Amino acid sequence: MSELTLYRQTFPSRLLLGTAAYPSTEILRQAVAAAEPAMITVSLRRAGSAAETDGQGFWALLQEMDVPVLPNTAGCQSVQEAVTTARMAREVFATDWIKLELIGDDDTLQPDVFQLVEAAKILIDEGFKVLPYCTEDLIACRRLLDAGCEALMPWAAPIGSGLGVVHGYALQVLRERLPDVPLIIDAGLGLPSQAAQVMEWGFDGVLLNTAVSRSGDPVAMARAFAQATAAGRAAYLSDPVQPHRHARASTPTVGQPFWHSEEY
């Protein structure tokens, strides 16, 4: 599988993995080892809470796994809150990478694309490598690119829903209209087959959390998603056949020992 390139940095995997809601830090460690992701996402609030159970173990695990960390601004609902969280994350994790989340609706957790563009401009100007969690709206995505983002993370469905791709047409249009922009599907995937599907459409990667962490066997599911992501990318690069409404025989007819007769 070809390498993923984001902000001129290459990664050997096209799968990004979240670190929240695993049954234990040990299962998280095994899931990350099974998936071998390009990056793991971490919420500053999750990692920074000393009162949280096993918080020290989580910190130690991050260092042990030696996988690039992608901090996020999960839960932020204003530009100032998101920018402040990103700045704090840069200090805590010593990285300029940030997954920018700015939520506009508490029920669907849909991104507020208007505030998202404003926050992205500020962070880009401060030297952050911003990966914005956005919708599949083409115009909003163009505004984020105008703000300086070099990659986008459109959702497939609401966070944690496991619905898979809800607006497939819009996502495929987005891929077609932004052919040179790295696009990573973030949120809503529930099955490895759904990851393979978006990769077959030409998306550059997928980011998962709930589908793995809340499954019955997170380690096996992490491995399955990694395999599906790789398979989908390989299929895309293999120039798959286009669907047709009518059958097309694939068996050669030369030398067939039978023939049709009008007499019975």
Residue 99 catalytic?
A: yes
Sheet bearing 129-134, strands edge to edge? 153-154, 129-134, 97-100, 69-72, 39-43, 15-18, 205-208, 184-186
For residue 188, say whether it is annotated as part of any ligand binding site: yes
Q: Is 187 annotated as a binding residue?
A: yes
Active-site residue among 14, 46, 90, 99?
A: 99
Contact (Cβ atoms closer than 8 angstroms) between residue 13 and residue 226: yes
Q: Is 210 annotated as a binding residue?
A: yes
Virtual torsion, Cα 39, 149, 181, 99, nearest 10 deg: 30
User: In sequence order, which ranges of the chain are alpha helices (DSSP H)?
Assistant: 25-35, 44-48, 55-65, 79-93, 113-125, 138-146, 168-177, 192-200, 210-213, 218-237
Q: Are 140 and 151 in contact (CB under 8 A)?
A: no
Q: What is the dihedral of CA 21, 26, 31, 37, to 10 degrees?
A: 90
Which positions are annotated as active-site residues?
A: 99
Binding residue ranges for 1-deoxy-D-xylulose 5-phosphate: 160, 187-188, 209-210
